[in-house]
Amino acid sequence: MKPVPRIYIHFADYYHIERARLNRVGAAQIRNSLSNAMRLCLLFADEVIFPLSSLYESLECQRLITEFPEFREHGILKVAAGDANIFDHLESKKLSYNETSTNHFLNAYRKKRSCVIMPSYIQRNGSSTGVIRAAWAQTARDGEVFRCLRDSGNISLPPRFEQIWSHVPDALGEQAFVPIHTVDVLRKQGFHGSALKHVVAPPIESAYVDGYVSSLHTYILLDVPYLAYEALEHRLQSRERLRYRDLVAGLTRYGLVEPILEADSRALFRLRSEPAWDELAESVRSGRSHEDASKQAKRVSEILNDSKVSSRATPQQLEMTTAMNKSESTNITTKFDTAIITALPIEMAAVELLLSPSKQPLRIDDDPNSYKATSIKLPDGTEKQVLLCLLNRMGNNSAATAATNLLRSFDVQHLFFCGIALGVPRPSEPSKHVRLGDVVVSDRRGVIQIDHRSLGPEGETNRSMLPPPPAPIARALNELTTNEYLGHRPWEPRIDSAVKAAPRFARPNASTDILFDSDGKTELPHPSDASRDPGHPKMHRGQIGSANTLVRDAKFRDEKAKEHDLFAIEMEGAGAQEALWNFGQSAMVVRGVCDYGVGKNDTWHHYAALAAAAVTVTLIIGI
């Protein structure tokens, strides 16, 4: 455990950096100061939290996130806002910055999400606007700000300026309560003078910081060179503070300042996991030394020296790398109509068999996913751009990571998770009986995580609350179902054509579709179903269960199916949906049935994967 649980980064926002530039601090000095302060935060806190708005408004903040990838990927670096998810935050920001705002803020929220490498997101309690409004009203009540306005020789005040000041929140309306908008409102009401912004900014910015610090229970780091704003920091209410100069002085006693400030991200991440560092860090923070401190400092120095093979990039190198990355990426399409995610290579092979994507994988910096790009030609001659993504490993956790990285790297409108799954047989209900090779599509009930449960004296309760598939895909599914009732099943010729091209994906013999009872001993007959098209998959609509457990137990299968009315059980849909929800999106899960959870084998894997891929492509065309 680090000396403090959380640190909130207030000094990397647009306003702090702009003030440093106006004070003629060079770009290299600003970046170096930000990097050094960030290193201290990462080493002295369990979590480091940025306001999400800073990540969009401040290029330097984006550089910081990029500079420390290990901390971002392991959830130590986080972003926070008061909205339910990132998508909602962006939408609210677009409304609060309109055509009267400066171009900087307009562009910040209208550019693509792929411009920003997003850390984990957490929702704070309360609203920044509410906190700022309350603080603004307090400035009018205590009169301090009015004394500053009168005493300033550089501000021209209109008649009844106190009343005008008090009505600023109403005058702003839906606009963001930020210094730039506030100064603009006051100037329209007769306030003039270059010093006006210096009176307006401290109460707004300090309230903003205090709101985050209070709701997230964080510390703050003060006195950061070139970036500290004394007028703001002396107004802050929080007493949970660290001071940059105190930490540097403590590290200097042990000769560790230079090694820490020169270490790369990987070395810092390794150091952070060492028990010797935790004990020494507490000594540095408290200013109290102990008898083992010298030994611990020696161990820390050894760790950092061992990591010097990969040296820290200079600001100039960072600029060159960024420029190279931009030039190499100019020809990469970042906007796709649809993305298809699969967990297994056999599932991706089935999709590629239908869509024939480019042979060359698409690689994105700071994104570990494997991508390929392709397109689907529509009946009207137009094309839909489709992105294919293959997970690095199975499971809900891997699916959540992949979905998050996909939406960080690309602007995608519709998403599908496609692959194979366990089918839930219902021999007593012929029309709902799921057989091998059939396809289950998550309808409006979507996916439920069957192992997301709470245990209490009253028993178990499922806590899964995942979003349903998006309306446009649900509409396409309804239309596809209507056509199926009329005997039109466009996925069938797609399967037949693919099998001709790749016979190994052919449908296995019906004799291999063997159904056993829940004990796995007695073979059960499949019921007769007149709605089936012999030799082709039947499409089912219904809820799909998702778990991190590979189910090989028919009793467990039937118990969960009865509890949640399941048609299939798989291992990735819940993780993908949870991650997509953070971006205000969701996916349609399409699963080909390859087994019943008893007597597992690979006989039906190829065909089930192809059947799911064929239904997915048909749905994409219908959106």
pLDDT digits (tens, 9 = 90+) for 244-268: 999 999 999 999 999 998 888 888 9
Locate all alpha helices (DSSP H) within 414-566, ordered by sequence. Answer: 471-485, 491-501, 554-564
Residue 513 has what pLDDT? 92
Q: What is the DSSP letter of 342?
A: E
**Gap between the Cα atoms of 366 and 409, Å rounded:** 9
Tell me phi and psi for residue 399, to 5 degrees.
-65, -40
**Gap between the Cα atoms of 552 and 36, Å rounded:** 52
Whether residue 45 contacts residue 256, with contact meaning beta carbons closer than 8 Å, is answered with no
CB-facing half-sphere around the CA of 161: CA atoms within 13 A: 19
Residue 492 has what pLDDT? 95
Please provide the average confidence, as pLDDT, over all residues in the chain.
Answer: 86
Overall average pLDDT of the 593-600 stretch: 85
Q: Is the model's pLDDT at 116 over the cut of 70? A: no
Model confidence pTM above 0.75: no
Residue showing tokens 């709101």: 211
Domain boundaries, the chain: 4-243, 254-323, 335-452+545-622
Q: Which fold has domain 335-452+545-622?
A: Rossmann fold (3.40.50)
Give how far Cα 413 sits from Cα of 88, 312, 353, Å: 16, 38, 23
Work out the burial of residue 103: count CB atoms within 10 Å of its CB; fewer than 13 is exposed, 13-18 middle, 19 or more buried: exposed
Residue 169 has what pLDDT? 92
Q: What percent of the chain has pLDDT over 90?
A: 43
Residue showing tokens 């895909």: 473
Residue 63 has what pLDDT? 86
Amino acid letter, residue 352 = E
Question: Residue 209: which pLDDT band, with cuts at 50, 70 and 90?
Answer: very high
Question: Residue 308: which pLDDT band, with cuts at 50, 70 and 90?
Answer: low
Overall average pLDDT of the 390-416 stretch: 89
**Gap between the Cα atoms of 66 and 579, Å rounded:** 21
Q: Which residues of 162-197 are buried (b: 16+ CB within 10 A; e: fewer)?
A: eebbeebbeebeebbbbbbbbbbbbeebebebeebe
Residue 436 has what pLDDT? 95
Q: Tell me which of 51 and 157 has the higher pLDDT.
A: 51
Q: What is the DSSP letter of 192?
A: B
SS3 119: coil
Residue 162 has what pLDDT? 87
pLDDT digits (tens, 9 = 90+) for 547-583: 887 888 888 898 898 989 999 999 999 989 988 887 8
Overall average pLDDT of the 339-362 stretch: 91
Give me the sign of the Cα torsion angle 341, 344, 345, 350: negative
Contacts of residue 35, Cβ cutoff 8 Å, sequence gap at least 6: 64, 67, 261
Contacts of residue 156, Cβ cutoff 8 Å, sequence gap at least 6: 190, 191, 192, 193
Q: Is the model's pLDDT at 330 over the cut of 80? A: no
Amino acid letter, residue 211 = G
SS3 412: strand
